[in-house]
Amino acid sequence: MATFKDLYDHVLPSVRGVDSPLVDYHIRRVLRDFLKKTTVWRETLPLLLTAGKTDYRLTPAASGQVGGVLRVYNRATGLPLHNRDEGCVVNGVVDAGAPDQWWQVYPSLISFNRPPSESQQLDVEAYKVVTLDPADDYFPDDVYENFVEIISNGVMSALQMMPAKPWTDTTMATVNNALYKKATYALRAKIRGGGAGNHSRVQAPRFAGRR
């Protein structure tokens, strides 16, 4: 795993005089924003539904915390699960990546609107973000290796925009912010919107005798 200090060499030369705690604060803030918008840090979490139980905590196996859920699907078939309410259907296809009347997501928690009537195994594909714990400064090596310049642009922009500091540089802050936003939204469009195939329509599990 990479750490915040791995970003120092990319950030500090442009903001000389800033202390480490302030750099770490903005690294955490930018990383959380970047990971939430792009969903590049992902983990599939096994979820055993228990009859009568509606709320389940989503706990990643490694570092980070769940930022949101991309899809819930049946492990045996690999097919997404959704409510068959016709109001959820767009052009004959249901988007399995968003809550659709039978499950909702809260921070690190997935809640089903009706309790399942029987136990079954599901998988939850989630995206993760760095935690708010100051002692936790880990994030994936591949995120660092592939996106270090984008993240550094965001951090430099936040620091350079601070008023009346030795490192204040509003011109470069504007440039770095534009580079960060452009690259982040381009990556988001590529990952979240490009190349996704349509899923077959499947039937949601029976919850409390209803579908």
Mean of the pLDDT values across residues 100-125? Answer: 79
Residue 59 has pLDDT above 80, yes or no: yes
Give the residue, 147 or 105, on which the prediction is more confident: 147
At 159, the pLDDT band (50, 70, 90 cuts) reads very high
At 141, the pLDDT band (50, 70, 90 cuts) reads very high
Report the pLDDT value the prediction gives residue 101, as an integer from 0 to 100. Answer: 57
Per-residue model confidence as pLDDT tens digits over 64-79: 999 988 888 877 766 6
For the record, the structure tokens of 93 come out as 């296809």
At 44, the pLDDT band (50, 70, 90 cuts) reads very high
Q: Edge-to-edge strands of the sheet including 65-74? A: 42-49, 120-129, 65-74
Residue 97 has pLDDT above 70, yes or no: no
> Which of 18, 32, 20 lies closest to 162 in space, CA to CA?
18
For the record, the structure tokens of 108 come out as 């690190």
Per-residue model confidence as pLDDT tens digits over 169-180: 999 999 999 999
* Beta-bridge partner residues of 73: 80, 123
Cβ–Cβ < 8 Å for 159, 21 = no
Neighbours of 45 (CB within 10 A): 19
Mean of the pLDDT values across residues 38-44? Answer: 94
Question: Helices 170-188 and 141-160 meet at what angle, rounded to 10?
Answer: 150
Report the pLDDT value the prediction gives residue 195, as an integer from 0 to 100. Answer: 37
Residue 187 has pLDDT above 60, yes or no: yes
